[in-house]
Amino acid sequence: MNKTRGALHLTQQVDYGILILATIANTEKDRSDAKKEPISTSIKQIAEENNLSFLFLQKIAQKLLKAKLLKSERGKFGGYKLTKKPEKITLKEIIEGLEGKISVVPCLRADTTTCCKKNKKCAIKNQLSILNKEMEDFFLSKTLATFTK
């Protein structure tokens, strides 16, 4: 038994992805509250402030860019910004942008062609499919705003 994580858990990549997005959201809010133009946030700064691997966070940021949750700006004041307000970014978007389709078991993934031997005669697949949909709906109902100031 693995005592460091639960049976169903968010990966470290998703955990840090939420951290990156929430940090950027809070920075943008602080800047706009001060009546200043929001400026970009540096991944290096987030890594240093949280004592995390810059390279790992950079890889996560690249996936968030590809998922269109972040945009990057070059230059002296360059860095990352959110593509939309925290209230409009769902946890489902974050999870699927980093890890792929939500799936409680591999055979429920749309991109899976091979499964267990009992795939066609599985006694629990229908119920697992319902559970999977409920989890998707739950993550769709929660937004990044939950994790911001």
pLDDT at 92: 97
* Predicted structure pTM score: 0.85
What is the SS3 assignment for 73?
strand
What is the SS3 assignment for 59?
helix
In degrees rounded to 5, what are phi and psi of residue 112?
A: -95, 125
pLDDT per residue as tens digits for the range 96-145? 999 999 988 877 776 655 566 666 678 888 898 899 999 999 999 999 99
pLDDT at 38: 47
pLDDT per residue as tens digits for the range 54-104? 999 999 999 999 999 999 988 777 789 999 999 999 999 999 999 999 988
**Residue 23: in which H helix or E strand, if any?**
helix 12-33
Work out the average pLDDT over 11-39: 82
pLDDT per residue as tens digits for the range 16-28? 999 999 999 998 8
Number of neighbouring beta carbons within 10 Å of residue 92: 19
Task: List, in order of start, the domains of the chain with CATH numbers.
Answer: 12-147 (1.10.10.10)
Closest by alpha carbon to 136, among 94, 106, 84? Answer: 94
